[in-house]
């Protein structure tokens, strides 16, 4: 029992030694938190909101559970992936210029520069300015605010730091693999028709006597395999569209035991140049140019077999 205080003191000494050794290891592992640019390492697992702005637009991205959103819509995952790859490349930046006379040429004047800000909840974690994208070298230019040092890092694609919210939204209206289609029904205000895949091939309105051109059907199916929007309507514009009085409803029925489900798209012309389009029950209202939309609105004759 006489040795109990000694044992306690010895245990405390060991604990303190291990504690400070751990601190030393932690600090050495985090010695690269700041790189030469003065920008901290940005961990996508910690950040839950991003703001990208210039003099014209602002893109505000925020994280809900594990999903990134912009407004009411999901951020387009391939775009987000490219963004995070570019952010990781900041750690490999190289000093380009310390001469302010060169900064305007790289996009750091008041009319060009883009401010990128990262938040954890409401707390600002990091912010920096992004200049122009150099197409020849696939380089983005970056600098801290109020510091006259411009760095460059690899950005394979343009608009990685897009301030236009539409550049972050998912542009896919419909993705229906042609091999999964069993039938397509076209409904217009004054008529409707359906093409079906039977054992003998494609038929019109279940009438095998009408010969259809499988190449023309395949061309149409290729359009809807990956149908991309030309843009998005604002909430103010979208609320004015009455899809109950649409110009066309196209319904895709899948073959049994395929991964596809019944899909519907509605089209409504809104002016001389644009057609609004809605996919299923999605709240997103896209638009297509009139020329692109007209390709989705065939008549029966468009599928006929011709000599």
Please report which helix (H) or strand (E) contains residue 153, including its range. Answer: strand 150-154
176 with 267, same domain?
yes
**pLDDT tens digits for the chain (307 residues)?**
445 444 444 454 444 443 443 333 333 333 344 456 788 889 999 999 999 999 999 999 999 988 999 988 889 999 999 999 999 999 889 999 999 898 988 989 877 789 999 999 999 999 999 998 988 999 999 999 989 999 999 998 899 999 999 999 999 999 999 999 999 999 999 999 999 998 888 999 988 888 899 999 999 999 999 999 999 998 889 999 999 999 999 999 999 999 999 999 999 999 999 999 999 988 889 999 999 999 999 999 999 988 6
- Per the CB < 8 A criterion, the answer to whether 232 and 169 are in contact is yes
From 149, 167, 185, give the residue that closes a domain.
167
219 with 96, same domain?
no
| Domain CATH number, residue 106 | 2.60.40
161 with 176, same domain?
no
Residue for token digits 């076209």? 186
What gap in Å lies between CA 97 and CA 103, rounded to an integer?
8
Helices (H) and strands (E) in the chain, counts: 5, 19
Q: What is the pTM of this model?
A: 0.76
Is 28 inside any structural domain?
no
97 with 192, same domain?
no
Is 30 inside any structural domain?
no
What gap in Å lies between CA 212 and CA 303, rounded to an integer?
6
Contacts of 234 (CB under 8 A, 6+ apart): none
115 with 180, same domain?
no
From 146, 167, 188, give the residue that closes a domain.
167
DSSP H helical ranges for the chain = 4-29, 77-89, 214-225, 235-238, 290-294
Is 44 inside any structural domain?
no
149 with 68, same domain?
yes
What gap in Å lies between CA 278 and CA 243, rounded to an integer?
8
151 with 250, same domain?
no
**Which domain range does residue 276 map to?**
172-303
From 167, 198, 229, give the residue that closes a domain.
167
Is 29 inside any structural domain?
no
Cα–chain center distance at 158: 14
Is 16 inside any structural domain?
no
What gap in Å lies between CA 216 and CA 212, rounded to an integer?
8
- Per the CB < 8 A criterion, the answer to whether 108 and 150 are in contact is yes
- Structurally, the chain folds into a number of domains equal to 2
Is 182 inside any structural domain?
yes
135 with 257, same domain?
no
Is 142 inside any structural domain?
yes
């Amino acid at each position: 029992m006489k040795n109990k205080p000694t044992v306690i003191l010895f245990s405390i000494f060991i604990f303190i030694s291990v504690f400070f050794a751990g601190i030393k290891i932690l600090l050495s592992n985090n010695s690269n938190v700041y790189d030469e640019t003065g920008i901290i390492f940005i961990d996508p697992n910690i950040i839950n909101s991003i703001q990208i702005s210039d003099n014209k637009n602002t893109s505000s991205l925020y994280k809900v559970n594990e999903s990134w959103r912009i407004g009411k819509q999901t951020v387009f995952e391939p775009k987000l992936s490219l963004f995070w790859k570019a952010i990781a490349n900041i750690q490999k930046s190289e000093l380009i210029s310390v001469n302010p006379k060169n900064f305007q040429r790289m996009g750091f004047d008041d009319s060009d520069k883009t401010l990128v800000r990262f938040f954890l909840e409401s707390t600002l974690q990091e912010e920096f300015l992004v200049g122009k994208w150099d197409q020849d070298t696939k380089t983005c230019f970056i600098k801290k605010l109020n510091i006259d040092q411009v760095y460059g890092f690899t950005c394979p694609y343009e608009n990685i730091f897009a301030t236009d919210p539409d550049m972050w939204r998912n542009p896919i209206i419909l993705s229906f693999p042609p091999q999964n289609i069993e039938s397509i029904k076209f409904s217009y205000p004054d008529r409707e028709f359906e093409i079906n895949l039977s054992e003998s091939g494609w038929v019109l309105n279940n009438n095998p006597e009408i010969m259809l051109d499988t190449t023309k059907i395949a061309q149409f199916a290729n359009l809807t395999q990956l149908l991309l929007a030309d843009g998005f309507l604002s909430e103010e514009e979208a609320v004015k569209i009455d899809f109950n009085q649409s110009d066309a409803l196209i319904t895709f029925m899948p073959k049994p035991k395929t991964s596809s489900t019944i899909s519907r798209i509605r089209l409504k012309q809104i002016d001389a140049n644009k057609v609004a389009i809605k996919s299923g029950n999605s709240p997103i209202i896209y638009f297509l140019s009139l020329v692109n939309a007209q390709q989705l609105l065939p008549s029966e004759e468009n599928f006929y077999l011709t000599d």
